[in-house]
Amino acid sequence: MTRRPTVRGGAAPAGACVWIGVGILLSASVFAQRSSAPSPPVLARMWDAEHVSSPVSPLVDHAEVKSRVQAIASAGADVLRVREVGRSLEGREVWDVTFGTGPFVVLMWSQMHGDEPTATSALFDLYEYIRRHEAEPAVRQLLSALTVHTVPMLNPDGAERFQRRNVQGIDVNRDALLLQTPEGRLLKELRDSLEPAIGFNLHNQSWRTTVGKPPKGAAISLLSVAQDEARSMTEGRLLTRRLGAVVRDALEPFALHRIGRYDDSFEVRAFGDNLTLWGTPVLLIETGPWPEAEPDPMLIRLNYTALIHALHALADGTVHQADPDRYDSLPENETGGFYTVIRNVTIVSGTGIPPFTGDVGLVANRRVRVTDDRRAVVILHTVEDIGDLRTAGGLFEVDGTGKVLAPLQEGAEVGSELSLPEGAVDAPIGIGAPAELMLLSPLPGGRYRVERIFRGAT
């Protein structure tokens, strides 16, 4: 087992070869000679070089969490400590993975909503960061200043089904007062026994969440959680606003105009609000969409960078220099964003009505389908809106000028040529319909060439 040696004086010692693939930036400057923490861009590059998480977050099930946690436990490294803290209603283990021995106690939990998986993967990568770099001065300082408790996948039964709620059908994040869910009781017991000085509540938000004007898909949304109807500005809320500012400044280089803030209305039943009231101020971090066909790696990378940078800021005290206005001035989240908008296209709807020009907005929902014990991610596209959609943004924008949008014909492929039937078809374009569409370029003689195909499920 080799641990990366600290590079000093710019001379790479023998054994530094593990860094060659990472590049000069890391080998020469990360942690070198100083105890300051790596900057967010360096953290992002470290994630590129060192992450251990799987490439598709929704496919991470409880079995994977279990094997990773057991591997940490059996490695016997003192720096990461594993403890089973309870079971879900169906008996799946829930763990606390802890590092650090400092007086400032932090609690992070992921996936209390079973279909919100990004931060679970980011926690695996956070453990790897701690494991690899525990000897570095900045990490040593973090470990001596903080005790960080993390719960990867609080709602494993929901995760198994890729559903928000637990198997009772209860939204665990609305169970802070009645405590009818074993998962909610677990979180409450952890809070009461650990009395953390701060909590990180890690979620995913709808891919329709947007920020700014023109609206862009909100990759990360933050909330310094209120503890009462008056939204009182306590010391705890000042800390989570400062921490929100730290996270914003860390992530803006990677996600400019894609970071938003939630309205801080008090939700009397929610864990974040009640933990804050009980003495553990909570920063909510919600992960949204990213404009790539494979969004998970970038989203995990954003979470990793945010979490590690925030922990270092708490450990070295720089959080107290952060300007809370940098949090307050984040634009508020809105909803109504589309996955794909096809603009200014001639719509031949297949209903028999005359063609007309407009925009078509599609939404996408990711689901996990389990067949023969294999999990696969499917994206369900639905036609959400038709008409003048200039006020709405799409993660993906398609210019339909001069083109025709029509219901997908059987056998159509990109590049194939076809004619459109007159009159109605079985599955016309309509609101709420699965997006089985084809984008066509007109050819002479009433024929068309298929340019793109949009499917309800891919």
When the beta carbons of 209 and 340 are compared against Zn ion, the nearer one is 209
Bond into 215 cis (ω within 30): no
When the beta carbons of 201 and 340 are compared against Zn ion, the nearer one is 201
When the beta carbons of 127 and 262 are compared against Zn ion, the nearer one is 262
Closest CA to 232 of 241, 221, 245: 241
Angstrom distance (rounded) from CA 305 to CA 220: 12
Helices and strands (H, E) in the chain, number of each type: 11, 19
Assess contact for 381 and 455: CB atoms under 8 A: yes
165: three-class secondary structure by DSSP: coil
27: three-class secondary structure by DSSP: helix
Could you tell me the end-to-end alpha-carbon distance of the chain, in angstroms, rounded to an integer? 42
When the beta carbons of 164 and 452 are compared against Zn ion, the nearer one is 164
When the beta carbons of 226 and 439 are compared against Zn ion, the nearer one is 226
State the residue for tokens 């059987």.
Answer: 410
When the beta carbons of 150 and 349 are compared against Zn ion, the nearer one is 150
Q: How far is the CB of 113 from Zn ion (least distance, A)?
A: 4
When the beta carbons of 116 and 134 are compared against Zn ion, the nearer one is 116
> Between vectors from CA 204 to CA 119 and to CA 92, what angle results, nearest 5°?
60
Which tokens in the block code for residue 78? 């003192």
When the beta carbons of 19 and 262 are compared against Zn ion, the nearer one is 262
Sequence-distant (6+) residues with CB within 8 A of 115 are 58, 158, 159, 162, 163, 164, 204, 368
Q: How far is the CB of 200 from Zn ion (least distance, A)?
A: 13
Backbone angles phi, psi at 130, to 5 degrees: -65, -45
When the beta carbons of 260 and 456 are compared against Zn ion, the nearer one is 260
User: What is the per-residue burial (b if ≥16 Cβ within 10 Å, else e) of 401-433?
Assistant: eebbbbbbbeebeeeeebebeeeebeeebeeeb
- Would you put residue 317 in left (φ > 0), alpha (ψ -120 to 50) or beta? left
Distance of alpha carbon 234 from the chain centroid: 28
Q: How far is the CB of 183 from Zn ion (least distance, A)?
A: 13
Q: How far is the CB of 263 from Zn ion (least distance, A)?
A: 15
Residues in contact with Zn ion by the rule CB under 5 A: 113, 116, 203
When the beta carbons of 203 and 301 are compared against Zn ion, the nearer one is 203
Q: How far is the CB of 171 from Zn ion (least distance, A)?
A: 9
Q: How far is the CB of 205 from Zn ion (least distance, A)?
A: 7
* Concatenated DSSP letters of 390-408: TTS-EEEEEE-TT-EEEEP
Number of CB atoms found within 10 A of residue 266's CB = 17
Sequence-distant (6+) residues with CB within 8 A of 71 are none
- 412 to each of 100, 126, 272, 409, 455, how far by Cα in Å? 58, 46, 50, 6, 12
